[in-house]
Structure 1
Amino acid sequence: MKINIKFDKSEPLTVHWAVWFYILILVNSVMAFGLITFLEFDMSENNAIYMLAMIPCMGLVVGAAIIRIIRTLKLRMKKISDGINRVAEGNLEVELDLNHSGEYRDMYRNFNRMVRELKNTKIEMQNFMNDFSHEFKTPITSIHGFAELLQEDHISEEDRKQYLQIIAEESHRLALLSQNTLLLSKLDAQEVITDKKVFDLDEQIKKCTILMFREMEKKEITLNMELSPVKYFGSAELMHQIWMNLISNAVKFTPHGGEITIIMVSVGDQITVNISDTGIGMDERTIKHIFDKYYQGDSSHATIGFGLGLSIVKRIVDLCGGDITATSAPGLGSTFSVVLKAPVHRSKNK
């Protein structure tokens, strides 16, 4: 249930406080001028008393206006203070009403945006814990179950090999999950890349495709590559993570007999790498969240994944000072474009 913090309808319309002060000063100046003028030209007792009586009236008008202004400002500050207290207590359904927020409108808007971000983060974390628990519990259960079966004496040699294969595969899944989680935590805490060196970026991408060759061969995927020879100055280990994640994703979501195309061009100090596939594609909602931590476009878990791979890629690209975008449509495949803006060196001996 959403909690709205609203202003009392009896509050005055928002007017810039400088205008109010200007009007007050103008009115009181006119009244003071009239008071002095009358006292100078007509010093009769009645007029003097009448004019002198205007002085406290002027003070009351100014005092009442200032009190009203201060009360309104305090009320508006109290609204955001109450909202902060509720958020501190764990209530993320708070929303400040922007009507009559006056000069605090930007503060209220930013507060509402902050609460929405906290709420989205909380939801993402809850989804991650559910997915993580599911992915973590399943292989452990399989390993435990098949390990117990291996202890029995009556199983055949064929079944024993099959059980050992399953244990090996599930162990690999656990290792991969742990590795990705630790890597993402490390990257989140990292601000500067230190282990930089010059290496052949095109050769690195070729090696990554070779590592995925067996998987592509199983699905009879055609690989097309056009790679400009480029020497890049950066972290070879982190760049390897980028290409392996993007290529493995392309293989994972490309159907039997599909195609994967990798194109790298270098213009000046900018490298662009496009990795395209003829896979299942993504809708607009998935594209919008594809780089979010713990997000999985395939909520059915039909494909193996943890929702961490593209988050890792995005973080590495950001650390390199580059950019990554995704274009796709359901049934029409996907293209991931990585733009590296760090200094590069063209290879002359290719």
Structure 2
Amino acid sequence: MIRSLYIRVVLSFLISVIAGTVIAFVITFLVFRGNMNENVQEELLNFGQDIVRIYDTIPLREADKFVEGMKQLDSYHIRIYDENNNELHSYGTLGGQTSARVTADQIKNVLNGEIVRANSSNESTGFVGLPLRTEAEAKALFIQPLLSPYTSFNVKWLSTFLIYSLVIGSLLILVASIFVVKPINKLTKATKRLASGDFNVRLNIKQTGELGTLARSFEEMTHDLQHLEQMRREFVTNVSHEVQSPLTSISGYAQALKQVNLAEHERSRYLDIIISEAKRLSNMSDSLLKLSMLESDSQQLRLVTRSLDEQIRRVIVALQPQWTARNVHFELDLQTLKVTADHDQLDQVWMNILGNAIKFSEVGGVIDVSISRNISDVIIRISDKGIGIEPEDQKRIFERFFKADRSHSSKYEGSGMGLAIVKQIVSLHQGDIQVESRPGEGTTFVITLPIHTTKESLNR
């Protein structure tokens, strides 16, 4: 088994060139075989006419000696017959080759002035007969090629042709294969660098065919892996930071509780802080676990058909202690509409978005919630008049642990996991979520969900 791609490419090209050349030659030979036979017969006729002119021009004895010394006898066998069908002269050595059989009728026809052409399945036994007149009597001249014209010509031509084709073709293939295999070698080296953790790989392959497509796909994969690695590092950093803060508080206040002369109200406050920080760690752990389950294939949606407007109203009622405390009011424009979805998951979507709208609204603010639909989708808009989100933060608000309210981090609690979970739930429903916001003017979340979510669409 040949493992080297370069050798396999070269051998494949060589075999293709040789096989193609041989097949092309055979087809060409078969197509032009008839024409070649006619050409051979024409050459025999022309040579015979030259012999006839020699006997017409010079005396018989001198003509016999002249013909006997001709160099052409290396390629032709000449026989001369009289009127009694007797062979008078034979010029040229057959060298083991079969002599063409000449019949009495053929000799008679030639003596009568006809030109006789004889073809055979064996081209070397074909011949041409011509009338020959001397001062003594009329004779019949028959000329036969000593070797098959196809054999002598084809073997030499085919051998030369194949040798040149093989040599020149091999050189061209060797050069061409270098250019074919070069991008693959680049990909191999780039893959090794990528496996070692080096994501700054640039292939610089300009080809537009399959190799070019493969190279561009590899570069896109490298970019995605680099982005994933960056996200992984940021995730580890964020988790470490988020976990370290409550752990530091718990550890510090636990040490403070060991003081013997600590006042009772101080002890109670420290315990409340420890309980709060422990709850914060628990919520963070639950959020991470939920997001991990949503991002894995193990999370199966339980699809049921229920009224979406009633669901949102129930969530708003459940959040009443929060919006009552901030004197926030709701303006609802909820079209009566039923959707097929996992409503337990959607509850968390509305809880997170409405909870954020309440948290970031000004005291006494108003939150607008509306439901509309088009042919196949339902569109939910939730708008507040709160602090808004900076443009550069809007691209990242759905990342885990990202907090757009960095300047208000001490004022607003949260782990930065809520919107990441919302994004994943909406994506699982084959929906979409967008944010529209201006700093100081408020924020609008636009959620688009299919009215009829099916298991088949979720598996696409």
Structure 1-normalised TM-score?
Answer: 0.76
Given the superposition, is the C-alpha separation of residues 281 and 68 from structure 1 closer, same or farther in structure 2, using an over 3 Å criterion? farther
CA-to-aligned-CA distance 1:36-71 (integer Å, 9 cap, x gap): x9xx789999xx889975653343332222222222
Contact 2:183/2:205 (CA < 8 Å) preserved in 1? no
1:132 aligns with 2:239: yes
1:251 matched to which residue of 2?
A: 358
Select which of 208, 219, 222 maps to 1:115. Answer: 222
Corresponding position: 1:228 with 2:339 = no
Structure 2 residue aligned with 1:289: 396
Cα distance, 1:309 vs. partner?
1.7
Q: Which residue of 2 aligns with 1:96?
A: 203
Name the CA shift for 1:300/1:77 in 2 (closer, same or farther; >3 Å). farther
Aligned-partner Cα distance in 2 for 1:231–1:53: 83
Q: Select which of 273, 294, 297 maps to 1:190.
A: 297
Q: 1:316 aligns with which of 425, 431, 437?
A: 425
- Aligned ranges for residues 65-84 of structure 1 at < 5 Å? 65-84=172-191
Matched, 1:240 2:347: yes
Match of 1:144 among 246, 251, 255: 251
| Residue of structure 2 equivalent to 1:12 | none
CA gap 1:196/1:69 in 2 versus in 1, 3 angstroms: same
Match of 1:202 among 301, 306, 309: 309
Write the distance in 2 (CA, Å) between the matches of 1:329 and 1:111: 38
Contact 1:198 1:234 in 2 (8 A): yes
Equivalent position amino acid for 1:89 in 2: S
For 2:291, give the aligned amino acid.
L
CA drift of 1:170 comes to: 1.5
Same amino acid, percent of matched pairs: 28
| 2:431–2:449 contact (8 Å) kept in structure 1 | yes
User: Matched residues in 1 for 2:308 and 2:358: separation?
Assistant: 21
CA distance in 1, matches of 2:207, 2:421: 43
Q: 1:263·1:275 contact (CA, 8 Å) conserved in 2?
A: yes
Deviation of 1:224 after TM superposition, in Å, equals: 2.2
Give 1 or 2 for the bigger CA radius of gyration. 2
Distance 1:160 1:209, change over 3 A: farther
**CA displacement at 1:80 relative to structure 2:** 0.8
Indicate yes or no: 2:371 matched with 1:264.
yes
The alignment partner of 2:354 has SS state of helix
Structure 2 residue 414 is matched with structure 1 residue 305: yes
Aligned-residue offset at 1:239: 0.9
User: Does the C-alpha gap of structure 1 residues 286 and 156 become closer, same or farther in structure 2, counting only changes over 3 Å?
Assistant: same
Is 2:150 the counterpart of 1:63?
A: no
Q: 1:214 aligns with which of 306, 321, 326?
A: 321
Distance change >3 Å, CA 294–CA 138, structure 1 → 2: closer
User: CA 1:300–1:135 in 2, change beyond 3 Å: closer, same or farther?
Assistant: farther
Q: Specify whether residues 283 and 98 from structure 1 end up closer, same or farther in structure 2 by C-alpha distance, changes over 3 A only.
A: farther
Tell me if structure 1 keeps the 8 A contact 2:293–2:299.
Answer: no
1:187-214: per-residue Cα shift (whole Å, max 9, x none)? 1123663433344332322232233333
Measure how far apart 1:181 and its partner are. Answer: 0.3
Q: Take 1:107 and 1:295, find their aligned partners in 2: how far apart are those partners?
A: 35
SS at match of 1:311: helix
Matched, 1:328 2:437: yes
- Any unmatched runs of 5+ in structure 2? 1-15, 44-71, 76-152, 454-460
**In structure 2, distance between residues paired with 1:169 and 1:236:** 30
Match runs of 1:26-41 below 5 Å: none
- Report the equivalent of 1:14: none
Q: What is the CA distance between 1:238 and its match in structure 2?
A: 0.6
CA distance in 2, matches of 1:208, 1:157: 39
User: How far 1:79 moved relative to its partner?
Assistant: 0.7
Tell me which amino acid in the other structure corresponds to 2:220: R
Tell me: CA distance 1:95–1:280, structure 2 relative to 1, closer, same or farther (3 Å).
farther
Residues 390 and 404 of structure 2 are in contact (CA less than 8 Å); yes or no, is this contact kept in structure 1?
no
Q: Find the counterpart in structure 2 of residue 10 from structure 1.
A: none
**TM-score, normalising length from structure 2?**
0.59
Once the 2 structures are TM-superposed, how far is the Cα of residue 182 of structure 1 from its aligned partner? Answer: 0.5
Unaligned runs of 5+ in 1: 1-20, 345-350
Alpha-carbon distance in 1 for matches of 2:202, 2:329: 52
Change beyond 3 A, Cα 1:73–1:320:
same
- TM-fit CA distance, 1:158: 3.0
Q: What's the secondary structure of 1:81's corresponding residue? A: helix
Check 1:171–1:211 CA distance in 2 against 1; reply closer, same or farther (3 A cut): farther
Q: 2: CA distance between counterparts of 1:191 and 1:326?
A: 29
RMSD of Structure 2 on Structure 1 (CA): 3.7
Cα pair distance change 1:287/1:121, threshold 3 Å: same
